[in-house]
Chains A and B, each alone.
Chain A
């Protein structure tokens, strides 16, 4: 596949790894923000190609993993109602809430459907005017333009049986929270290429400046990640802390203004709870008051639900890069992809699942 295969060439990857080895004279810790990058790193054993002194810390960029348990509980409460068709991206179905998961609700007779795009949920709503169709609108800045368009389009079409359960999160506030943590070990970041495709790179300029930390906007294929690491190491070695763009084939400095306009027409910035991290101010999106009638939490009266995380799961420390999955006592024993205790084990982009799948034992 064009723009995929050529970025997986092992010989070229080896050359980049060699270049990194020459550049690195000191130990450095670099965090890849995005779960998609974590998945590539484990899948293609990129970490094993790197010099021992380099540590990759897996960041919080997996929307499934950071969705707090109480949102799951709200989803479960809504999905269990007989009049509801609950539409969700597939990877949310096995994330455990306090009791069960969406898959269990489905097996108990709930109408839970996997969709590829929020626009599919919109179609379901048009085809089933006598049912309530709810879309589980989770994700980072990457998914927000799609979810915003679904809501805007529902408003234009006058659909009254379509609502969204919103749990949107934003990357820059998470970077701030990580950098402000006293235990923070991160010295450089690979920023998420697809988030920046939408948002551009300006938000990262002040982060790099404020925390004196290099940030390299990076793609997802093995050569992208190695190249991003190489650029980051070069900055660290030279004592620079700048924003650089490795993924220029998709990311422009200004991002995608049309997408951003739609996002902020429908959503506004709000505080959000992150699984295992807690509430981060101004770290998420919620519907603007003009679109309040599309809010599933109000329509189904679940806004008040709250819940605590399971005590054994150290997802919070994993998501902040303080621990690696295999340092969790439950990893691979009481917590497996078949019976996950926490979200990072469920999602294919989650660090625990990636370790379990590619790094057994």
Chain B
């Protein structure tokens, strides 16, 4: 039951004085209560858990990991091109630097 699922807000409305949303999860549409995420608007993605949106998903933060992965990848390629052993010092430093954000 701890699974939270990201979905897209299709519509915002009110029921029994509570803000509600119609949320799409990969083609399936369900209702969720938006009382805890009053800032969300149609088109936003929210994390839904047992019928409640718990957060608005931050697109910029969501991309971080891919930027980081590209950096690691580039560092790995540079190393291969240098033709050195894969786990030599320089490579590790490159990775460490890439990890800081």
The stretch from A16-24, A281-289, A313-321 touching chain B is A16-24
Q: B57 to chain A: which residues have CB within 8 Å?
A: 3, 249-250
CA distance A35 to B93 in the complex (A): 34
Q: Is A118 within 8 A of B51, CB to CB? A: yes
B52 touches A117 (CB 8 A): yes
With both beta carbons as reference points, the residue of chain B lying nearest to A6 in the complex is identified as: B66
Contact status of A91 and B38, CB under 8 A, knowing A248-B64, A250-B55: no
**Interface of B: prevailing SS:** mixed
Tell me if A143 and B2 are in contact (CB < 8 A): yes
A contact residues around B66 at 8 Å (CB): 6, 12
Count of A-B residue pairs with CB < 8 Å: 139
Please judge, given known A-B contacts A19-B72, A153-B16, A258-B35, whether A120 and B2 are in contact too, CB under 8 Å: no
Q: Are A64 and B1 interface neighbours, CB within 8 A?
A: yes
Q: A198 to chain B: which residues have CB within 8 Å? A: 54
A146 within 8 A of B: yes
In the assembled complex, the CB of A243 is this many whole angstroms from the nearest CB of chain B, namely 15
CA distance A230 to B26 in the complex (A): 29
> Which residues 2-31 in B have Cβ within 8 Å of A in the complex?
2-6, 8, 16-18, 25-26, 30
List chain A positions with a Cβ less than 8 A from chain B. Answer: 1-4, 6-7, 12, 15-16, 18-19, 22-23, 34-36, 61-64, 89, 91, 116-120, 138-140, 142-143, 145-146, 149, 153, 156-157, 192, 194, 197-198, 220, 223-224, 227, 230-231, 234, 248-252, 256, 258-259, 262, 349
Q: Can you name 30 A-B residue pairings with CB atoms under 8 Å?
A: A1-B6, A4-B26, A18-B76, A19-B72, A22-B87, A63-B1, A89-B1, A139-B1, A139-B2, A139-B50, A143-B2, A145-B36, A146-B49, A146-B52, A192-B2, A194-B4, A194-B47, A194-B54, A197-B54, A227-B68, A248-B58, A248-B64, A249-B57, A250-B57, A251-B55, A258-B35, A258-B38, A259-B36, A262-B35, A349-B1
Chain B residues engaging chain A, CB cutoff 8 angstroms: 1-6, 8, 16-18, 25-26, 30, 33, 35-38, 45, 47, 49-52, 54-55, 57-59, 61-62, 64-66, 68-69, 72-73, 76, 87, 91-92, 95-96, 99
